[in-house]
Chains A and B, each alone.
Chain A
Amino acid sequence: MIIEHLGLTRINGSLVVLDGIRGAAYNEMAELRLDNGTSRTGRVVQIDGERVVIQVFEGTKGISLVNTRTRMSGRPMTLGLSPEIVGRVFDGLGRPSDGLGEVFPLVRRDINGLPINPVSRIYPRNYINTGISSIDCLTTLIRGQKLPIFSGSGMKHNELAVQIVRQASISDGDNFAVVFAAMGVKNDVADYFRRSFERSNVMNKVVMFLNRANDPIIERIMTPKVALTAAEYLAFDLDYNVLVILTDMTSYAEALREFSSSKGEIPGRKGFPGYLYSDFASIYERAGIIEGKKGSVTQIPILTMPNDDITNPVPDLTGYITEGQIVLDRTLDTTGVYPPVSILPSLSRLMKDGIGAGYTREDHSMLANQLFSAYARVQEARSLAGVIGEDELSDADKLLLKFGAEFEARFITQGPNENRSIEQTLDLGWRLLSMLPREQLDRVDDKTIEKYYKKF
C-alpha cells in the first residue's frame, strides 16, 4: 500500500518539513506531487521522530502548505545503468534529456557509492599521454588519479579539458570512455563541449550529465554523485578506462552552501558548511583502480577560483584531497600563452612513481625538477628586474630572463591541436635547459648532463 501524506508543515528555501511521517529512512527518496499534476523529487535530510525534513531537488517554487501530496519511496536514490548509457545525454539527476527515450536498466546502483577499501586499491602508476608538454613533463597525469584544473572565469580551462580528452583518447584506443558532468555551466559551454566531442569523434564514447546554469540549483548537489556512479559502472563492470570531467566544482560548492544555510547549519569559512571537506572527499575519492578489475576512473575536476584566489575554500579543500592540481595563470592567459599553465603551483603527486625508466624516460624526473627550479629562479630575477630595471641585472640574471621567455613561448605554449610525444617534450626541455650554464643545473647528476645537455 502506498501512503500519500497531504500537505506540508513548513517550507524553507529548498527544504520542506512534514509532520506525522512514520518510519522514514534517512537519505531515502520522496516524490512530491503538486495539484497541477507536476511532480518533484526530494531526499530526506533530517529526521526527528515523526518530523521529516526533505530537500526538494527542483526547488520549492509553486509549492504551498496545502497543494502537495508526498510519497516516500523507501529507497535511497539509485541510478539505472546499462551499457547503452554510453553516447547518451542526461540531466543532472540522471534522467535522459536527449529525446532518445528511457534507458532500460540492467542494474540499479545507490548514487552515494561506497568507500573503496584501501587494501583493494592498486596504486596508480601508468601515465596518460596527454600530448601537452606542460602536463606530460611537469604535472604528469596518471591513470586512476584525480587531478583538478584550478582556473578562473574567462580562462581557457574548457579548451584544455577538451584537448586532454581528445589526445588521451588517441593513446587509449577502444577501452576509453568519458563521463562529463556539468554543474551550473552556461548553455553555450555545455554546447561547446558537446560540439568538441563530436568534432573529435569521441561523442560515441561520452556520457553527459548536464545541469545547466538555469537548471534547479539543488539538483546540482546530486549531479557529480550520479555521474560517478555511471563512471564506476563503466570502469568496474565494463572494463572501460574512464576519464571523468566535473565542471564547475565551484558552482557545486555554492549549491551546497545554499542548501546548508537554508537548513540553518553553522557556517564555516566564507559561509561554506563545515563538512565541505568531507563532501568533496566523497566525490574526489571515487577515482582509482581496483585490484582484479581492468578499468579505471580518472578524474579531472575543473573549478573556477573566485577572484583568482587559490586560498578560497573551494580550491583550498580540493587541493587537500586531490592528487595535485593544474593551476592556470591570468597573466599567462592575457599574454596569449595557451595552455596558460602556471607551473610552479602546479603539481602531480602521483607523478613520482609513474615516470622514469620503463614508463617515460630515465631523465624525466631530474629534468622536471631542474625546469621547476630554473623557472623559480626566473621569477626571482623578474621581480628584481621589476625593481632595478632589466638593464641593471647581472649577466646571469639576464640569461635567466631569456630562458624564462623562451620556456613560456616554446615549452608551455602549444597549439590546441598539437599532440607532442613524450620524447619531443623531454627533448624540448633539454634544448631549453641548454641555454643555461652547466654549473647552474644542480638538480641533475653528471651522467644525465653528459647524455642530454646541449645534445639537441
Chain B
Amino acid sequence: MTENYRIFGVNGPVVTVLGRTALSMNEMVFVGEKRLLAEVIRVDPDRAVIQVYEETGGLRPGEPVEPTGAPMSITLGPGLLGGIFDGVANPLKAIADENGAFIPAGVHVESLGGEAWDVTMKIAAGDEVLPGQVFAECAETGAITHKSMIPPDVRGRVVSAKPDGSYTVADALAVVEDAKGGRHEIRLAQRWPIKNPRPVARRLSLTKPLITGQRVVDTFFPIAKGGAAAIPGGFGTGKTMMQHQLAKWCDADIIIYIGCGERGNEMTDALSEFRKLIDPKSGKPLMDRTVLIANTSNMPVAAREASIYTGITMAEYYRDMGYNVAMMADSTSRWAEAMREISGRLEEMPADEGFPAYLPSRLSEFYERAGYTENLNGTEGSVSVIGAVSPQGADFSEPVTQNTKRFTRCFWALDKSLAYARHYPAINWNDSYSEYTGELSRWYAEEVGEDFIACRNELMTILAEENSLMEIVKLIGSDVLPDDQKLTIETARVIRVGFLQQNAFHKDDTFVEPVKQLKMMRVILYLHHKCRDIIARQIPISEIIKKGLFDKLVQIKYDVPNDRLELFDGYYQLIDTALSGLN
C-alpha cells in the first residue's frame, strides 16, 4: 500500500503537492475525494505538480492524492472498434447510460466492457512464445478480426492454455513462464502506457500510397502508408470536412479519428454517419473499422493532450496485428494550446507566442510514431497520421504550423479564398507539397499507369503557368493575351473546376479510384494538346471554345459513373469529331 499525499494548491487544471514525494514523472494519480484522473508533470525537491484530466471545481487543499505507481496507461483489446471514447479512453456510451446526457467529473468506466468473445486459440501448452506473437483471434466486428498478442515484454514457454471458447477480456487465457521462472497470465486485453511508442522489429521504407479517392490528394499531393501529413487552414476552410472524407474513404484497414478540442456536434455527426455509411470494400458499416476519440472543446483541457496519445497508442496496437491504420487528429493546434495553457500555469519561460520551448520536440515525438513497420510478430503494418492544424488568424507563420511542417512530409494548405468561392477541397495547389511523390512514383507507374506521373506533372505545369498569367490578367484583363496563353487559362479552368474540385455529397464524385483519376487527366491533356496544335495553325481559340468541349470535360466527374469507365472512349471521339471541322 503506497502512501497517499495531500493537495496543497489548486490553479485551474494544475494541482500541487508539497514536500519531497515518491511520485515519478508522468505517473498516473487520482486526485481528491472524487478521484479525478491526473498525471504528474513536474517533480521538484519541495513539491510535485500534477495536471488533472477533469474539472477541478470543488477541490480543497488537504484532499488526498493517490499514487498508482504506473504511468498513464490504457487498456487495449477487442471492443475498441465501433466505440467512442473520451481523451483518457472512458467509453462515452457507457457514461451516457449511467449518467445521462451530461458528463460529471470523477467518472471512470473500464474502456472494454464485459462482453464475451468467440475466441480461437493459436497456442497450446508447451509452445514457445515470443513478444508480439498472436495467441488468439476473435471477430471483433463484422469487418475486422482481432488478433490478441503476447505483450511486448513477455517471452517464454506456455505452461497452460485454455481451449477455444467464449471469453471476456478479463479471463486469463494462458500462462507463460519466462526464462527466469516468472509466470505471466495472458489475457485478451493488455495495458500500455500511452506516451511510450509500442516496439517494432524494424522500420521499412514507404512505398505504397494511402489511397484516399480525393483527386487533389492522390494525384497531386499523395501521402504514403506510414506517412504523416498536415492540413493547416483557417476556420471555415474545410479541415474537418477533409478529415471526415479521408476517414470515410481512405484505403486503410482501421481508422482512429480524434476530435481534439473540437465541436461536439461534429463528433455526433461522425458517429451517426459512420454507422450509416457502408464501406465499399467490406460491405459493413464504416464504424466497424473505426474508433472515435472525442475530447470536445468544453471538456477538460489536460485530457486534450492525452487524447492524442491515446489515439496513437490504439493505432499502434492495431498496426502490430498487421493492419494498415490511418489516424486523423482534428486539431493538433488545440493540443498545442493545451500545452501552452498548462505551461503558463507552471510559469515556465515561454518561447514563440507563449508556446513552451518543448513544443517542437513534443510534435516531432508524436509524428515519428507514424511509420511503415515490420512488427515483432513478423507481419507488416503501418500507422499514417493526418493532423489538422488551426493557425490563429489563418497565419501559417505561427509556431504550430511551422513546427508541424518540419515533421510532416506532406502539407495540404487550405486556402480561404478557395473556400469563399466554395471550391472544395480548398487545397491550394501552389502552397501545398508532398515529399512522398518520388517514393511513390514507382507504385503509380506499376499499379495505375506508366504515364500517371507524367500526366500529373503536366497538369501541375499548366496550373503554374496559369498562376503567373493571372498576374497579368488581374492588371489588364484576359482579352489581350495571345491565343496559346488563353488556352492555358481555359485548360487550367477545366483542371480546377473539373478535376481538383470534388463534390463530397455526390455519390460518384465523393470517392474516385486512381484509374479514373488517370483517365480524367488523359482526356483533359488530349484536348489540350489537340487545341494547341489547332491554335498553332492560326485558328482562333474562340472557334474552339464555341464547341463547348471544355464545359463537357468539366462535367466528366458527374457524367462518367465510377463503374462505367469505358465511357471515357466516347470523349476522344467527341473531341475528334468536334475539332475536325476546324482544319
A216 at the interface (CB under 8 A from B): no
CB of A320 within 8 A of CB of B390, answer: yes
Most chain A CB atoms below 10 A, which of B84, B298, B551, B554: B298
Q: Which residues of chain B are within 8 angstroms of A429 by Cβ–Cβ distance? A: none
Nearest Cβ on chain A to B578's Cβ, whole angstroms: 15
Partner of A117, one of B92, B272, B551, B558: B92
CB of B101 within 8 A of CB of A267, answer: no
CB of A376 within 8 A of CB of B421, answer: yes
A451 at the interface (CB under 8 A from B): no
A1 at the interface (CB under 8 A from B): no
B267 at the interface (CB under 8 A from A): yes
A373 at the interface (CB under 8 A from B): yes
CB of B390 within 8 A of CB of A443, answer: no
CB of A376 within 8 A of CB of B477, answer: no
Nearest Cβ on chain B to A395's Cβ, whole angstroms: 10
CB of A76 within 8 A of CB of B265, answer: no
Closest to A345 in B: B420
CB of A290 within 8 A of CB of B101, answer: yes
What does DSSP make chain B's interface, helix, strand, loop or mixed? mixed
- Which residues, 326 to 374 on B, are CB-close (under 8 Å) to A? 334, 337-338, 340-341, 344, 347, 350, 353-354
Nearest Cβ on chain A to B188's Cβ, whole angstroms: 24
CB of B59 within 8 A of CB of A311, answer: no
A137 to B494, CA, bound (A): 28
CB of A114 within 8 A of CB of B390, answer: no
CB of B268 within 8 A of CB of A122, answer: yes
Stretch at the interface among B8-16, B167-175, B404-412: B8-16
CB of B57 within 8 A of CB of A123, answer: no
Q: Which residues of chain B are within 8 angstroms of A317 by Cβ–Cβ distance? A: 392
A116 at the interface (CB under 8 A from B): yes
- Which residues, 415 to 453 on A, are CB-close (under 8 Å) to B? 439, 442-443, 445
CB of B59 within 8 A of CB of A267, answer: no
30 contacting pairs across A/B (C-beta < 8 A):
A23-B62, A25-B58, A26-B59, A115-B103, A115-B264, A115-B298, A116-B103, A116-B264, A118-B264, A121-B265, A121-B267, A236-B101, A266-B350, A275-B12, A275-B344, A278-B261, A281-B298, A282-B298, A288-B264, A290-B101, A311-B393, A323-B265, A373-B422, A373-B423, A377-B421, A384-B477, A388-B477, A393-B477, A439-B548, A439-B551
CB of A316 within 8 A of CB of B392, answer: yes
CB of B58 within 8 A of CB of A115, answer: no
Please count the residue pairs between chain A and chain B whose beta carbons lie under 8 angstroms apart in the complex: 221
CB of A76 within 8 A of CB of B301, answer: no
Partner of A48, one of B16, B62, B236, B392: B16
Nearest Cβ on chain A to B530's Cβ, whole angstroms: 20
Nearest Cβ on chain B to A375's Cβ, whole angstroms: 9
Nearest Cβ on chain A to B540's Cβ, whole angstroms: 15
Nearest Cβ on chain B to A105's Cβ, whole angstroms: 20
Against A, the Cβ 8 Å flags (1 = close, 0 = not) of B194-230 are: 0000000000000000000000000000000000000
A48 to B55, CA, bound (A): 18
Q: Which residues of chain B are within 8 angstroms of A249 by Cβ–Cβ distance? A: none
A50 at the interface (CB under 8 A from B): yes
CB of A121 within 8 A of CB of B263, answer: no
A352 at the interface (CB under 8 A from B): yes
Closest to B421 in A: A376
Partner of B301, one of A266, A275, A443: A275
Q: Which residues of chain A are within 8 angstroms of B265 by Cβ–Cβ distance? A: 121, 123-124, 144-145, 288, 323, 350
Against A, the Cβ 8 Å flags (1 = close, 0 = not) of B397-423 are: 000000000000000000010001111
